[in-house]
Structure 1
Amino acid sequence: MSQTASILVIDDEPQIRKFLRISLASQGYKVLEAATGGDGLAQAALSRPDLVVLDLGLPDMDGQQVLRDLREWSPVPVLVLSVRASEAQKVEALDGGANDYVTKPFGIQEFLARVRALLRQAPAGEANPGPLSLGPLSIDLALRRITLAGVEVALTRKEYALLAQLARHPGRVITQQQLLRDIWGPSHVDDSHYLRIVIGHVRQKLGDDPAAPRFIVTEPGVGYRLMGGEAG
């Protein structure tokens, strides 16, 4: 990864953003900034940065939620930068998909070394996929937008999370246990009735007949798969 890499800083403190902007720019990086979680997610989708620096204490939503939302569609390396120093917070962030965790206050040289390390680990030239098209159904994970025949489909958080998980692996069977673990948590891997209910709601909203599916196929006793589609 060259030092022309772009880095998105999501932090609501103007002085921290200014400090990081100056420090990162001095190393040749392009710096993008966001003061809220919502703006950060939008910039991540539109600008496709090479690295995200994420504060957890944001005014509109918790940084842990920003991380979870980002991980639904992007593999971009994330460096959490937070005053929260408890082991529980660090574990939650790392389990939620963060690549590294630095507590404030921090030394800038160590921070820059961690940035370099994460950029070295990042897959070269990996682009986030465009919308997935399955006939009339379009699934855009970056914009969190599902459309059917050009009309946006309103899904609940759980319904969206389920469809997004299937859309990340089109044509591949995802087991019931994996879906339950990823969407409801490890303590719910045996609660298959949750999954059946949500699958039923998603199918209903997509007009998908389980007896003759166009989109979601049941693999009896195993799990579900989304019909293979084309990335836009």
Structure 2
Amino acid sequence: MTVLIIEDEQELAELLAFNLRNEGYETLIANDGKNGYETAIREKPSLILLDLMLPELNGIDVCKLVKKHHDTSRIPVIMLTARNEEIDRVVGFEVGADDYMVKPFSNRELLLRIKAILRRSATGAPENDTDEAIEIGPICIDPGRHRVKVNDEVIVLTTTEFKLLLTLAERKERMLSREFLLRTVWGYNHTSDTRTVDTHITRLRNKLGDAGELVKTVRGFGYKLEFQ
């Protein structure tokens, strides 16, 4: 598997590449947003580590372009940034980032998140190993084709959004805690950052349109998918 590192701090980029190669990954490095985007289109890596503050094109713009291009839209993106305000995190998720890490971060935690995201990308099928479509009201989920329709219109979801919706659908009517969703969808053993779930739920509801109302908030606990 190949990881593309888009990072303008050369020493950090090389350190990340060194650590990833020690874990068996192949690596590519781009030191500005424009070159990073072009490399992503050309090489189609398994995952992208993307700095937020970049010359030429910033990380937000790079992420938007990557997620819009048909050849790269499903490539997972982890944003790396020195900023830790919630607005930055929310914007990152809104443009399609799959995860978000604030510098300085633990190399071990980064590697665990990379493994979890790559495992999630490789296993987008439902846990019950069936390709049978799941229909809940106007929402139709086709696990085998990794496709979602609302009122017969195809809705484009990221890998994380698809897995989140599928997890809710497989357990429809059941209340699922934020911690459970983090473990099941993101593959995290630590569950301290539950805001990740909230921002993805918001984005998922927006993409589902009126059908997003079927994703119910269970105040102080989590979410459930409900249709009556």
TM-score tier (shorter): 0.5 to 0.7
Find runs of 4+ consecutive structure 1 residues off by over 3 angstroms.
Answer: 172-175
Partner residue in 1 for 2:84: 85
Aligned-residue identity in percent? 34
Aligned letter for 1:11? E
> How many pairs were matched up?
128
User: SS of the residue aligned with 2:122?
Assistant: coil
CA positional deviation for 1:174: 7.2
Partner residue in 2 for 1:60: 56
| Greater relative contact order (CA < 8 Å, ≥ 6 in sequence) | 1
When the two chains are superposed, the root-mean-square deviation of aligned CA atoms in Å is 2.2
Q: How does 1:123-142 map to 2 (within 5 A)?
A: 123=122
What CA distance in whole angstroms lies between the structure 2 residues aligned with 1:173 and 1:110?
A: 38
Partner residue in 2 for 1:6: 2
Residue of 4, 16, 19 corresponding to 1:20: 16
Aligned letter for 1:42? E
TM-score, normalised via structure 2 length: 0.53
Specify which structure has the higher proportion of helix.
2
User: SS of the residue aligned with 2:24?
Assistant: coil
CA positional deviation for 1:116: 0.5
Aligned letter for 1:94? F
What CA distance in whole angstroms lies between the structure 2 residues aligned with 1:86 and 1:62?
A: 17
TM-score, normalised via structure 1 length: 0.52
What CA distance in whole angstroms lies between the structure 2 residues aligned with 1:84 and 1:65?
A: 17
What CA distance in whole angstroms lies between the structure 2 residues aligned with 1:108 and 1:123?
A: 23
What CA distance in whole angstroms lies between the structure 2 residues aligned with 1:14 and 1:63?
A: 16
Rg bigger for which structure? 1
Consecutive unaligned residues in structure 1, runs of 5 or more: 126-168, 176-185, 190-232
Partner residue in 1 for 2:66: 70
Partner residue in 2 for 1:114: 113
CA positional deviation for 1:123: 3.5
User: SS of the residue aligned with 1:25?
Assistant: helix
CA positional deviation for 1:96: 1.0
What CA distance in whole angstroms lies between the structure 1 residues aligned with 2:56 and 2:83?
A: 17
Consecutive unaligned residues in structure 2, runs of 5 or more: 125-148, 156-205, 210-228
CA positional deviation for 1:61: 1.6
Partner residue in 1 for 2:45: 49
CA positional deviation for 1:173: 5.6
Aligned letter for 2:33? G
What CA distance in whole angstroms lies between the structure 1 residues aligned with 2:103 and 2:13?
A: 13
Per-residue CA deviations over 1:126-181 (Å, capped at 9, x if unaligned) read: xxxxxxxxxxxxxxxxxxxxxxxxxxxxxxxxxxxxxxxxxxx9xx8679xxxxxx
Per-residue CA deviations over 1:171-226 (Å, capped at 9, x if unaligned) read: x8679xxxxxxxxxx8xx9xxxxxxxxxxxxxxxxxxxxxxxxxxxxxxxxxxxxx
User: SS of the residue aligned with 1:84?
Assistant: coil
CA positional deviation for 1:9: 0.2
What CA distance in whole angstroms lies between the structure 2 residues aligned with 1:69 and 1:26?
A: 30
